[in-house]
Amino acid sequence: MNSPRQRQFLMALVTLVTVGSTLLVATANSQAVAPEPEAWTGSWSAALTPAGAGKSKDGFSDQTIRMFVHTSVGGTQARIRLSNRYGTAPLTIGRATLALPWPEAGPGDLKPGSVVDATFNGQKQVTIPSGGSAVSDPVPMEVPASQDIAVTLYVPAQAKPNPATWHLYSRETSYIGTGDHAGEASGAKLAETRNNWYYLAGLDVLNRTGQGSIVVLGDSITDGLKTTVNADRRWTDFLGARLVKEAPGGNAPGILNAGLSGNRLTLNGADLGVNELGMNGASRFHFDVLGQTGVRTVILALGINDVWLSQDNADNIIARIQQMASVAKQAGLKVIVCTLSPWNAFESAPGVVAYTPTLDSVRLQVNSYIRTSTEFDGVIDFDAALRDPANPTKLRPEWDSGDHIHPNDAGNEAMAKAIPLDLLLDDEDED
């Protein structure tokens, strides 16, 4: 078989070449491509804050907390990350489980047979020191993309109050009850409800997307304030679902929401007397961005609170964005910055300045800088996407939640649709 025709025929055949345990597929017109090796990436996260009022103040004692989180990408295994960052004493988790929800059965119910224990170095119990964190062993379970996962924690009795590290506005119902019910599918004994997450910092998955994760460092707009509770209508949820559906080859990155209501670039919630608004964006950058699993890109979506809450000037806001972008670049991350969306007619809390044209001129100066800067890898123009063409200082009426600053569900979906996906994908996956 040495004729040119025979050689051409052989070259056109599909050649299977086994290298180690990886199967490579090659043709005459394509290069051999190996499947991406499995790697851990973040699928969900929450930005955590010091305790405030209510259940967070004294923490938990001989109680079970069942929380629901919405994944971005799926995987073949899972692990959870827990935090006692703002606790004043060691935190013991007596048992932790993961499961699939079963809402049609009842509030807080889980799919029968889906409850799996999460262990820590082979043990069901883990004690986390004050200021510390813990990550579970891999949990064997198929984690679906863009779906809810239930994480249940049992906190044994404690001798004295230990404030809970938490997330204030989860937009998801959590279920609480006395005693250890972490292994039970029924939520019947978890009758107390809250719209907060406690101790839970992240959910990682093992998958082959090869895309790592994208962290969105933002404020209440990113946090999903004013979106429908238990409906997963944050713009990051819409973006995660869009990427899973539209990313070439199904290689979607994980989308990690690090939004905090009231968050600013440099001032803390405690400066307003509200601890649960958390630390400023700059100080939490290392925890909420660099500390995430598989992070490759950060989206900066902060600044509007610096305009109306702090009444800061444009030069200061721009300088802080520049500094945070520099830190991200030094860490090897891709940096994307969002313009500040409209807020005309917004009426803030008593004693805090509401909208004025003078303040809004600061927003417009910051947006002009963001759009024209060459310091970032990309820009997401939420101002252009959300503003009313008839009055660019206001949100489009159909996307206004009613407070004139936070988009409703449809507005959050519009935000996700306005993002060019090529900003978020690795170059080799854009072809």
Average pLDDT in the 315-322 region?
A: 98
Exposed, middle or buried: residue 144 (CB in 10 Å: 0-12, 13-18, 19+)? middle
Which has more pLDDT, 388 or 12?
388
The encoded tokens of residue 246 equal 């539209």
Rounded CA separation 324/302 (Å) = 11
Residue with token string 């900003």: 423
CA angle 120, 123, 126 (to 5 degrees): 60
Return the closest-CA partner of residue 255 out of 211, 189, 221, 285: 211
359 pLDDT exceeds 60?
Answer: yes
Amino acid letter, residue 185: A
What pLDDT sits at residue 351?
60
Model confidence, pTM: 0.90
Cβ contacts of 40 within 8 Å, gap of 6 or more = 79, 204, 205, 206, 293, 294
Average pLDDT in the 355-371 region?
A: 97
Are residues 209 and 77 in contact, defined by beta-carbon separation less than 8 angstroms? no
Rounded CA separation 40/42 (Å) = 7
Average pLDDT in the 197-205 region?
A: 98
Q: What percentage of the chain carries pLDDT values higher than 90?
A: 83
Mean pLDDT in the chain?
Answer: 90
Specify the pairing of strand 295-301 against strand 213-218: parallel
Report helix angle 409-417 to 235-246, nearest 10: 40
6 pLDDT exceeds 50?
Answer: no
Are residues 49 and 276 in contact, defined by beta-carbon separation less than 8 angstroms? yes
Return the closest-CA partner of residue 308 out of 421, 171, 404: 404
358 pLDDT exceeds 70?
Answer: yes
What pLDDT sits at residue 254?
98
What pLDDT sits at residue 353?
72
Amino acid letter, residue 87: G
Q: Which residues of 305-314 are buried (b: 16+ CB within 10 A; e: fewer)?
A: bbbbbbebeb
3-state SS class at 280: coil
What pLDDT sits at residue 289?
98
The encoded tokens of residue 219 equal 């404020």
| E strand segments, 334-412 | 334-338, 378-380, 387-388, 391-395
pLDDT 10s digits, 53-67: 788 999 999 999 999
27 pLDDT exceeds 60?
Answer: no
Average pLDDT in the 295-321 region?
A: 97
152 pLDDT exceeds 90?
Answer: yes
Average pLDDT in the 302-326 region?
A: 96
pLDDT 10s digits, 232-287: 999 999 999 999 999 988 899 999 999 999 999 999 999 989 999 999 999 999 99
